[in-house]
A = this chain, B = another copy of it.
Amino acid sequence: MSSQVQRPGLLFVLSGPSGAGKGTVCKALLQREREMKLSVSVTTRAPREGEREGVNYFFRSVEQFKAMIEADELLEWAKVYENYYGTPKTFVAEQLAAGYDVFLEIDIQGALQVKRRFPDGVFLFLIPPSAAELQSRILGRGTETDDSFRLRFGAAREELQMMREYNYVIVNDQVDRAVSRILSIMEAEHCRVKRNLYLLNEW
């Protein structure tokens, strides 16, 4: 990616309905754009074999996590079963200040929390190429009953309406094309006038 002079980092948030392929796209993206930083979450769950503090997660106690919520130190957080997960502001802020773009892959509810706390982020919505394709992706897993299919498919269609809350929509017809679109968006966002007004001071 060709970068303009002196550019500060930007936060990109990738989200989308279930079945869109967020995880796959995010992994492929990281391989093509090695200079960006993936956001590291904080969690109260125990580390698994091989997981490293500050790389996979920041591991904290429930008390510490609750203190972070109180101190407004999280861009978003959620409780999943017994464990808390969240996105620490400090990590993101430090990477941005150092000039790195930060990438955050997260579900729709989390993305909307981030948007409220960090409106200057760039919000990307990944969607499957069509209803028919989503249907075959869900069925392809081979684990769905008729009822659970209807539930998942209905939920994905509802989630799709959340598109309006985002800046960009990326159709995931092919992973490499979706990744190219995201890279283009990242470069384009750095060129937006509102992010380059400081150039006027240099003349």
Binding site for B on A (CB under 8 A): 2, 4-5, 125, 127, 129-131, 157, 160-161, 163-164, 166-171, 173, 177, 180-181, 183-185, 187-189, 191-193, 196-197, 199-200, 202-203
New A-B contacts (4) at CB < 8 Å, excluding given A2-B181, A181-B188, A183-B184: A4-B173, A163-B193, A184-B187, A188-B189
Known contacts: A5-B173, A203-B131. The answer to whether A188 contacts B160 by CB under 8 A is no
Q: Are B191 and A161 in contact (CB under 8 A)?
A: no
Also in contact, A193 and B173, with CB within 8 A (given A184-B183, A200-B161, A202-B130): no
Assuming the contacts A168-B188, A188-B184, A193-B169, asked whether A157 and B203 have C-beta atoms less than 8 A apart, the reply is yes
Is B160 a contact partner of A203 (Cβ separation < 8 A)?
A: yes
CB pair B131–A163 under 8 Å, yes or no, is no
| Number of copies of chain A assembled together | 2
> What residues of chain B lie closer than 8 Å to A164, measured between beta carbons?
193, 197
- How far does the Cβ of A130 sit from chain B's closest Cβ, in whole Å? 7
Partner pick for A200 among B163, B180, B196, CB 8 A cutoff: B163
A199 touches B127 (CB 8 A): yes
A4 and B171 contact, Cβ closer than 8 Å, known pairs A163-B193, A188-B185? yes
